[in-house]
Amino acid sequence: MSERTPLLHYRLSTNVNEQSGEHQPCLSGETVEQSLAFSRLKSVHHSRPKKLSTFFGVVIPTLLSMFSVVLFLRIGFVVGQCGLYQTIAMFLVAYFIISMTVLSVCAISTNGALDAGGAYYMISRALGPEFGGSLGVMFFLANVCSSALYILGLVEAIVATFGLPEDGVSPAGSLQVLPAGYWWSLLYATGILLLCLLVCLVGAEIYAKASFLIFLVVMLVLATIFISFFAVRPRTILLPAALPVHNNTGPQPPNMANFTGFKLDTLLGNLDADYAVDYTTGTMMSFATVFAVMFNGCTGIMAGSNMSGDLKNPSNSIPRGTITAVIFTFIIYNLLSLMVACSCDRILLQRDYSFLRDINVWNPLVTVGVYSSTMSAAMSNLIGASRILYALARDDLFGTVLSLAKKTSHNRNPWVSVLLSWFLVQLVLFTGKLNTIASIVTIFFLLVYAAVDLACLALEWASAPNFRPTFRYFTWHTCVLGIVGCAIMMCLINAIYASASIAFMLLLLLLIHYLSPTSSWGYISQALIFHQVRKYLLMLDVRKDHVKFWRPQVLLMVSNPRSNVGLITFINDIKKSGLYVLGHVQLGDLDTLPSDPLQCRYDSWLSLVDHLNIKAFVNLTLADSVRHGVQHLLFISGLGGMRPNTLVLGFYDDCTPKDKLTDPTLADATVPTQDPEDKRPPYHFPALRPSNDGMGGNGKVMGPQEYVAVIADAMKMLKNVALARYFHQFDRTSTISSSPGKCALYVDVWPVNLLRPDSSSYVDTCSLFLLQLACILNMVRAWRHARLRLFLCVEEGRSLRGSEEKLGQLLKELRIKANVYTVTWDQQVALHWQRQGEAGKRRPTRQSQREEGGLGKRGLFEEKEGGDYVNSFPSNATRLSDEYLSAVNRLILEQACPPPAVRFLYLPHPPADTQHYTAYLRQLDLLTKDLGPTLLIHGVTPVLTTDL
CATH code, domain carrying 770: 3.40.50.620
CA distance 793 to 800: 10
Split at pLDDT 50, 70, 90, the class of 824 is confident
Taking 80 as the threshold, does the pLDDT of residue 246 lie above it?
no
Please enumerate in sequence order all residues whose Cβ is within 8 A of that of 236, keeping only pairs 6 or more positions apart, or say none: 256, 257, 258, 259
Spell out a b/e string for 696-714, using b for 16 or more CB atoms within 10 Å of the CB, else e.
bbbeebbebebbbbbbbbb
Cα–Cα nearest to 281, from 252, 313, 243: 243
Structural domain includes residue 35: no
Same domain? For 300 and 364 the reply is yes
Among 268-282, 584-598, 797-811, which stretch is predicted with the lowest mean pLDDT?
797-811
Residues 706 and 736 in one domain: no
* pLDDT number for residue 673: 42
**Number of Cβ atoms within 10 Å of the Cβ of 9:** 13
Per-residue pLDDT band at 5 (split at 50, 70, 90): very low
Residue type, 149: L
Report the alpha-carbon distance of residue 827 to residue 833 in Å, rounded: 10
Strands 720-725 and 746-750: unpaired
Strand ranges, E, within 726-833:
746-750, 787-794, 819-824
Predicted confidence at residue 797, as pLDDT, reads 61
Q: Which residues contact 442 (CB under 8 A, 6 or more apart)?
A: 291, 292, 295, 296, 299, 489, 493
Give, rounded to a whole angstrom, the gap between the first and last alpha carbons of the chain: 64
For residues 772-790, average pLDDT:
87
3-state secondary structure of 178: strand
- Cβ neighbours, 10 Å, residue 787: 15
Instruction: Check whether residue 495 and residue 553 sit in a common domain.
Output: no
Query: Is 792 within the bounds of a domain?
Result: yes
Q: How far apart are CA 203 and CA 496, in angstroms?
A: 38
**CA–CA gap between residue 59 and residue 316 (Å, rounded):** 12
Confidence of residue 313 (pLDDT cuts 50, 70, 90): confident
Does residue 917 lie in a domain region?
Answer: yes
**Of the candidates 515, 540, 570, which is a domain's last residue?**
515
pLDDT confidence bin for 264, thresholds 50/70/90:
very high
Of the candidates 337, 336, 335, 311, which has an alpha carbon nearest to the alpha carbon of residue 322? 311
Task: Say yes or no to pLDDT of 623 above 90.
Answer: yes
Backbone angles phi, psi at 769, to 5 degrees: -65, -40
Give the whole-angstrom CA distance, residue 188 versus residue 675. Answer: 52
Full domain range(s) for residue 322: 54-166+182-242+253-515
**pLDDT for the residue numbered 134:** 85
Closest to 74 (Cα-Cα) out of 325, 377, 321? 377
CA distance 126 to 120: 10
Instruction: Return the pLDDT at 525.
Output: 73
Which region among 255-264, 397-406, 827-836 has the lowest average model confidence (pLDDT)? 827-836
Rg (C-alpha) for the chain, rounded Å, is 39
Higher pLDDT among residues 61 and 711, named by residue: 711
Specify the CATH number for the domain of residue 640.
3.40.50
Task: For the chain, count helices (H), then strands (E).
Answer: 33, 14
Between 742 and 744, residue with greater pLDDT: 744
Does 199 have pLDDT greater than 70? Answer: yes
CA angle 54/375/282 to nearest 5° reads 125
The confidence band for 803, taking pLDDT boundaries of 50, 70 and 90, is: low
Question: Within this chain, do residues 485 and 583 fall inside the same structural domain, yes or no?
Answer: no
Distance CA 582, CA 566 (A): 14
Does 8 reside within a domain?
no
Reported as a pLDDT band with limits 50, 70 and 90, residue 646 is very high
For 447-459, write each residue's pLDDT tens digit: 888 888 888 888 8
Any idea what the Cα angle at residue 879 is, between residues 876 and 880, rounded to 5°? 95
CATH code for the domain in which residue 73 is found: 1.20.1740.10
Are 489 and 447 a contacting pair, CB within 8 Å? no
Task: Decide: 393 and 262 in contact? Cβ < 8 Å.
Answer: no
Query: CA angle, corner 179, sides to 178 and 182, nearest 5?
Result: 125
Q: Are residues 99 and 192 in the same domain?
A: yes
pLDDT on residue 538: 85
User: What is the mean pLDDT of the segment spanning 734-760?
Assistant: 74
Q: Which helix (H) or strand (E) holds 235?
A: strand 235-238
Q: Are residues 648 and 556 in the same domain?
A: yes
Query: Running DSSP on this structure, what letter comes out for residue 57?
Result: I
**Who's near 5: CB < 8 A, 6+ residues apart?**
112, 113, 315
Q: Is 186 buried (19+), middle (13-18) or exposed (0-12) by CB count in 10 A?
A: middle
Segment among 150-159, 536-545, 730-739 with least mean pLDDT: 730-739
Domain count of the fold of the chain: 3
Please state the rounded mean pLDDT for residues 482-491.
90
Please check whether residue 116 lies inside any domain of the structure.
yes
Q: Which residue has the higher pLDDT, 853 or 232?
A: 232
- pLDDT 10s digits, 428-454: 998 877 777 878 888 888 888 888 888
- Of 47-61, 222-236, 277-291, the least confident: 47-61
The answer to whether residues 561 and 511 belong to one domain is no
Give CA–CA dist 841/370, Å, rounded. 112
> Taking CA 834 as the corner, what is the angle to CA 888 and CA 848, rounded to the nearest 5 degrees?
75
**According to the model, what pLDDT value does residue 330 have?**
93
Global pTM?
Answer: 0.63
Judgement on whether residues 552 and 657 belong to the same structural domain of the protein: yes
Indicate whether 803 and 735 sit together in one domain.
Answer: yes
Indicate the residue type of 797.
G
Which residues on adjacent β-strands are paired with residue 793? 823
pLDDT tier, 358 (very low <50, low <70, confident <90, very high otherwise): confident
Report angle CA 918, 921, 927 to the nearest 5 degrees: 140
- Strands 580-587 and 554-557, sheet pairing: parallel
Distance of alpha carbon 198 from its chain centroid, rounded?
Answer: 40
Q: Please report the pLDDT score of residue 925 as a whole number.
A: 92
| Amino acid 933: pLDDT | 92
SS (H, E, C) 79-136: HHHHHHHHHHHHHHHHHHHHHHHHHHHHHHHCCCCCCCCCHHHHHHHHHCHHHHHHHH
Give the separation between CA 324 and CA 304, rounded to whole angstroms: 11
Residue after which a domain boundary falls, among 672, 690, 719: 719
- Give the confidence band of 733 by pLDDT, cuts at 50, 70, 90: confident
Beta bridge partners of 791: 821
Q: Report the percentage of the chain scoring pLDDT > 70.
A: 78
Alpha helices in 204-297 (DSSP H): 204-231, 264-269, 287-295
In a domain, 151, yes or no: yes
Query: Distance between CA 645 and CA 220 in Å, rounded?
Result: 78
- Per mean pLDDT, which range of 472-481, 520-529, 736-745 is the poorest? 736-745
Q: Measure the CA–CA gap between 56 and 204, rounded to whole angstroms.
A: 11
Split at pLDDT 50, 70, 90, the class of 698 is very low
Summary mean pLDDT of the chain: 78
pLDDT of 506 above 80:
yes
- Residue 71: name the closest of 297, 288, 292 by CA: 297
User: CA-to-CA distance for 938 and 753, rounded, in angstroms?
Assistant: 10
> Rounded CA gap, 474 and 106, in Å?
9
Last residue of a domain, one of 515, 532, 561: 515
Are both 281 and 343 inside the same structural domain? Answer: yes
Tell me how far apart the alpha carbons of residues 122 and 102 are, in angstroms, rounded to a whole number: 13
Same domain? For 638 and 762 the reply is: no
Kindly write down the DSSP assignment for every residue of 560-616, as one continuous string: -GGG-HHHHHHHHHHTTTS-EEEEEEEE--GGGSSS-TTGGGHHHHHHHHHHHT---
Q: Residue 238 domain-assigned?
A: yes
More confident residue, 434 or 417: 417
In this prediction, residue 847 carries a pLDDT of 42
Whether 859 maps to a domain, the answer reads: no
Do 354 and 280 share a domain, yes or no?
A: yes
Q: What percent of the chain has pLDDT over 90?
A: 22
- What whole-number distance in Å separates Cα of residue 809 and Cα of residue 855? 8
